[in-house]
Structure 1
């Protein structure tokens, strides 16, 4: 009897199949021919697979893909979506092309479906594609292959066909396990930091400060190597952390970055005391351009000389306060540092003007000389060298008590200059001084300072504080011939009068650009001289007027000047800045009324006018240093104004005014003394509330201090 399923071939697949190697092919006997009821049920079982074609969801193509003479068997049309599914561990075998099994069978682990006439040998159905013209033994009708787009798909995907086989098969059953997806090979480990170019690493670390670089260096060896790369330490400034860094770490950093360091600032680093550490620093630094050793008192003389000899490119050298500096040091500088432009040897007590003379002759590019409190400036030879060089733009001689009128005149006009008959002025080149500091040169008089007139047209800063012998005659001609003057220090010149201020300074060509003015301890100066100066010098930024005779009128004029020169803003959220700083303590004529006027102008909101239709807010205010009893109120008011809290600042000013008025009333005699004192105490309590803290922009949110009521009887 012919087999009822001539085209079905059972194939072992998946983890349930147990392959046995070296097995021999066993011929499969054909199934007996069915009769009667069994044959009918078998036919119905085969027909039940036909409806699964409707679930494939494919419309028929325009051309007939089944135009060949082959036919489709019902078994080959079984779909993955068919409701009848089978076990994954069922009985299966692999068949050869001739219909013989090439692998032994295995016993199914899962029992068959409890259905009548269900044969366990057909628990797994294989769909096989046959080549055209091939026929299965026992069946005279050949089957054709199912198109690729109509093949059923299992849950785990299609089973790949063997490329060498001409009969690929698709197996599917109810209990089939999903096909295990092939895992992707892990990507090779990519070390981001190691693969990064060294230049980019340096660019990243360049944003770190010295302290942060030292902290980051302990992360790893790679970080340590990058953090101490010399390219990150071209500018080594230890002035910010000199108290925290130990000597060993300081020397280590400088040695590691020595060849790259161009700017070295060891200001205050007294821990570099051991000669070996200092020698390490000196040997490492060979390319310095700017060097500051101010305060390094433990630097040995030999170490300093070695540093100077090995750095020929030095342009700025600061040796302030070093005891190791001598005239021999200046000689080495003159020989080894021809590019020197700035030289600071202030408070070097072991040298004198002879060393400075050597430096002036040996350094042709020197333009900035600072030699405060150095002895020997009464030397006419040194003064003549300064005159002949005519290169200095900044000369600081503060505290040089040896400087005389003759030496100063020699620096300016030389010895025995030729005098012009018409102008009676020396016929010499003009001096290039831009900043001249002669403060505390007590030997100078008006005749010497008067020589500056007509000789320093480029002068921008002049400091004459402490020259107590100077009078108005020393400055009258000088102010008229210095149109670029922006800083004028006349502190402790008690011989000056108001005439110098309102007749000469207020009318001088430098008045519109004058920014800094100091007349502290000029006891003869008052409102008569300062009010015209404040009106004329509208660009003032700092005024020191302590211990003078000025009054509240000067403060009012200053507030008016600031209001005039600053343009208001209509933005309520804008923050003002301090445009003028005034020092007015120890002035007998300055009262709380003048201070209150300044506070009121600082927090004033201008109302709309004919020219200005909107409300304007201040952009510049006045900062004051006044009597210590009022200073706390002034500071609190300033803090509120700078925050933009103008309502709170105005309220503080009003409460303080009430408090000061109550105090004045309480101090007066006559009837009502107790009432006035009580009002003064109440005003003081309210003022204390305001000084405890501000409130919000809207005038709310303030928390008052809790206070119990007094006894009614008492």
Structure 2
């Protein structure tokens, strides 16, 4: 034993690795093992019995006396771990080499510190702001402190349940609303159908008294619940009640009575409400700027539209599907009733309207007279939707387009009476340099070459819809050319947008043009990942291949996208060859029949 200690002290390099100090029993066990290791009989035996059973699970790493014929012993000296390696089969001298790890011992009674508890509460709340509503609800179950932090009023100014209401029971949602209600400014429970039984009583939302924005779209709550919510929040600025069957004229009266600060109102498709209640709202809410009342009956009355004209506050108006809205009501909205006429221009002398968004889709009683009234009176108009109005012609747009220089979106789906004259007026209009979205689907009287020329005249075009029109392959090729031109002209730090082309059921567009677009898109994307491309929506039988090619290309699987395009091109070319052979066979048989008929006559 003395020799072993002398050898150890002379040849051991001490490494300071901390260990735990509660090792009294372990020391005694190691001393016994060291005596066993220094025994003269140890080197005589080829195999040493394993001491795992002696050491137990806690000490299994201290010694190894297996078949490797090399044993390692650990000792604790002055708070350090000493590991001695012994070779038992040396005949004369027991050679021992020891290595000592440099780990310092740790105190067992040292308390663990949670860094999160050392942060001020203000900073904790600021960190939790990066979590969305669903993540906050999950984090609130960690402990009581986290529960208090996660339900701090600063984190619940907005409660949007549209993304996770299906994953949380209705009882939990009600509890969340009750706990965070006094702090919520923006409440969105759109589509939460499971809350209908819970909201049968008006007191269900009694805690939400500081709302500024509320959206109940798609929730069929009771009428008393809706009226109570509106009455206890006089500071409401935005209300969304789209599609609620319980909303009626009494709801409009409640809004007119309590919500005088209202700026945005959407009561589209509330079929139990009429335009009379909307008139009451317009009269009592002087700050109303955005009004959506699609599908509501009664807007054909000029007196109702005259109230909106007198206020001149509306910036957005949507009357989609209002069948009774005609020329007289539209003129009352734009120029009012009994307005004096300017003798120099012959037009009503009125202040320009502030409208920026106007949706009159599906108003069949509108004619060119209404569009001519709009000309010159809405210089800030940016979005104009006039689809499904079959009475409109080129003459109206020739007068309108030069007076709306800020127009960026124009939809004229199923306006069948517009022709090439409209296209020329649009190309010459000042808004042509700004227009981003143009929809001309089902406009069958526009020539195919004019649809292609429009692409060249609209440099900022991003969305182009020409479904069921006379569009040709030239439209596809010019859209590709515009993509390349836009990329080369854009600065390096600004990415130019893609172009979305919808050409469903256009018989003049062939698969060859679509195939060329797929090849060009792949080449552009391989050259530069940030390069814009042309996204296509073509025939329904071709669309799955187009979508799959786009997915592979966007994922960076260029070889797979190329293989798909080549297989599709081979398939389509083979189908064309078979079709041409059948056609030639049919024509040959027809010629043979004509010859036989001619011979029989002779």
Residue matched to 1:264: 187
Quote the residue 1:284 is aligned against.
207
Equivalents in 2 of 1:605, 1:305: separation in Å? 57
Q: Counterparts in 2 of 1:42-61, with a 5 A limit?
A: none
Structure 2 CA distance for partners of 1:450 and 1:558, relative to 1, 3 Å:
same
For the Cα contact (< 8 Å) 2:449–2:474, is it kept in 1?
no
Is this contact kept in 2: 1:237–1:266, CA < 8 A? yes
1:364 equivalent to 2:364? Answer no
Once the two structures are TM-superposed, the CA of residue 509 in structure 1 deviates from its matched residue by 0.6
CA RMSD of aligned residues (A): 3.1
- Residues 343-393 of structure 1 show CA distances to partners (whole Å, capped at 9, x for unaligned) of 111111121111111111111111000101011101121111011000100
What do residues 12-55 of structure 1 show as CA deviations (whole Å, max 9, x unaligned)?
xxxxxxxxxxxxxxxxxxxxxxxxxxxxxxxxxxxxxxxxxxxx
Instruction: Quote the offset at 1:651 in angstroms.
Output: 5.0
Q: Does 1:587 align with 2:506?
A: yes
Confirm or deny: 8 A CA contact 1:479 1:508 kept in the other structure: yes
Partner of 1:539: 460
Shift in Å at residue 281 of structure 1? 3.9
Equivalent residue number for residue 250 of structure 1: 173
Q: Report the CA distance shift for 1:437/1:327 in structure 2 as closer, same or farther (over 3 A).
A: same
Matches within 5 A, 1:85-484: 186=109, 196-274=119-197, 279-297=202-220, 299-484=221-406
**Alpha-carbon deviation of 1:594?**
1.5
Work out which of the residue numbers 474, 486, 492 in structure 2 matches 1:565.
Answer: 486
Indicate which of 625, 629, 650 corresponds to 2:537: 625
Q: What is the distance in 1 between the residues matched to 2:290 and 2:517?
A: 40
Q: Distance in 1 between matches of 2:525 and 2:216?
A: 53
2:548 is matched with 636
> Aligned-pair distance for 1:234?
1.4
Q: Give a deviation string over 1:261-280, Cα, whole Å, max 9, x none.
A: 01100101122223667534
1:530 match: 451
Aligned to 2:516: 597
Equivalence for 1:553: 474
Within 2, Cα distance between the matches of 1:576 and 1:636? 24
Which position in structure 2 is the counterpart of 1:518? 439
- Using the TM superposition, name which of 183-192 and 429-438 deviates more: 183-192
The answer to which of 454-463 and 241-250 deviates more is: 241-250
Mark the CA change 1:606 to 1:273 in structure 2 (over 3 Å): closer, same or farther: closer
Q: Comparing 520-529 with 596-605, which one deviates more in the overlay?
A: 596-605
Q: 1:640 to 1:323 in 2, by over 3 A?
A: closer
Structure 1 residue 447: deviation in Å?
1.5
Instruction: Give the whole-Å Cα distance in 1 for the aligned partners of 2:502 and 2:375.
Output: 30
Query: Given the superposition, is the C-alpha separation of residues 255 and 410 from structure 1 closer, same or farther in structure 2, using an over 3 Å criterion?
Result: same
Cα deviations by residue, 1:586-618 (Å, 9 ceiling, x for unpaired):
1111111221222232233699xxxxxxx8787
1:202 positional shift? 2.2
Tell me the SS of whatever aligns to 1:593: helix
Deviations 1:83-127 (A, max 9, x none): 9xxxxxxxxxxxxxxxxxxxxxxxxxxxxxxxxxxxxxxxxxxxx
Contact kept in structure 1, 2:524 and 2:531, CA below 8 Å? no
The structure whose residues are more often helix, as a share, is 2
Instruction: Supply the distance in 2 between the matched residues of 1:439 and 1:292 (Cα, whole angstroms).
Output: 24
Q: Which of the numbers 541, 553, 576 marks the counterpart of 1:664?
A: 576
In 1, Cα distance between equivalents of 2:576 and 2:243: 52
- Assess if the C-alpha contact under 8 Å between 2:498 and 2:532 holds in 1: yes
Q: SS of 2:206's equivalent?
A: helix
1:525 CA displacement: 1.9
Shift of 1:216: 2.5
- The separation in 2 between residues aligned to 1:186 and 1:669, in whole angstroms, is 92
Question: How far 1:459 sits from its partner (Å)?
Answer: 0.3
Taking the aligned partners of 1:452 and 1:193, their CA distance within structure 2 comes to 62
Is the alpha carbon distance of 1:585 and 1:576 closer, same or farther for their aligned partners in structure 2, counting shifts above 3 Å?
A: farther
Deviation at 1:625?
0.6
Aligned residues: 485
Conservation of the 8 A alpha-carbon contact between 1:403 and 1:443: yes
Deviation at 1:411, TM superposition (A): 0.5
Q: How many angstroms apart in 2 are the aligned matches of 1:209 and 1:360? A: 36
Q: Relative to structure 2, which stretch is displaced further, 366-375 or 659-668?
A: 659-668
Change in CA separation of 1:426 and 1:209 when aligned onto 2, cut-off 3 Å: same
CA separation in 2, counterparts of 1:567 and 1:399? 43
Is the alpha carbon distance of 1:516 and 1:506 closer, same or farther for their aligned partners in structure 2, counting shifts above 3 Å? same
TM-score normalised by the chain length of structure 1: 0.63
Residues 593/195 of structure 1: CA separation in 2 closer, same or farther (3 Å cut):
closer
- Give CA deviations for 1:113-147 in whole Å, capped at 9, x if unaligned: xxxxxxxxxxxxxxxxxxxxxxxxxxxxxxxxxxx
* C-alpha separation in 1, matches of 2:215 and 2:508: 46
Q: Is the Cα contact below 8 Å between 1:441 and 1:466 reproduced in 2?
A: yes
Would you say the 8 A contact 1:466–1:493 is kept in 2?
A: yes
Is contact 1:538–1:561 with CA below 8 Å preserved after alignment? yes
Say whether residues 1:491 and 2:413 are aligned partners: yes
Distance between the aligned counterparts of 2:350 and 2:248, measured in 1?
34
Deviation of residue 341 (structure 1)? Answer: 0.7
Q: Structure 2: which 5+ residue stretches go unaligned?
A: 1-5, 7-77, 80-104, 586-602
Contact 2:487 2:496 in 1 (8 A): no
Structure 1 residue matching 2:244: 3-state secondary structure: coil
Q: Deviations over 1:537-574 (max 9, x none)?
A: 01111111110011111111111121112129999xx9
Aligned match of 2:596: none
CA distance in 2, matches of 1:491, 1:589: 19
1:458-491: CA deviation from partner (whole Å, max 9, x where unpaired): 1000000111221112211111110000000000
Deviation per CA, 1:302-348, whole angstroms, max 9, x where unpaired?
Answer: 22222112112111111111223222222221222221110111111
Task: Give 1:51's aligned residue.
Answer: none
Task: State TM-score, norm by structure 2.
Answer: 0.75
Please state how far the C-alpha of 1:658 moved relative to its aligned partner.
3.3
